Structure 1
Amino acid sequence: MLAWSQAELAMAAKVSRMTLVDFERGARTPHPNNLAAIRAALEAAGCEFIPENGGGAGVRLKKAAAQDA
């Protein structure tokens, strides 16, 4: 969604790139503080996490705020 590389996400979340690599390939689950940092970095960049509501959990980009004329 953001077209970020693993290195860019790692830098934004302040976690190691290997943490992301292992998480993406299912080798391990990151520690809760690393998961929170990854989520916070994605949210700061405009991603919105949608909770389970019967249609499945998801993620989307937030709408841009309306510009004042």
Structure 2
Amino acid sequence: MGVVRFLDGEGKSRSLADFREKVVILNLWVTWCVPCRQEMPTRDRLQAQLGGPDFQVVELSLDQG
């Protein structure tokens, strides 16, 4: 199985290996999911409070296109 790659918010190709040595919360979501969108501000606050060299919230949309 190969490495799963995705684009970050700036269009840069990334993989989970880019977050090695960090604690990562990986959230898989889709734009049409209302509860998914409602949860995002909470994870944004978590990232703002704890994000840095040791912690990262990764939001990965599964929408196509």
Larger fraction in helix: 1
TM-score by length of 2: 0.27
TM-score relative to the length of structure 1: 0.26
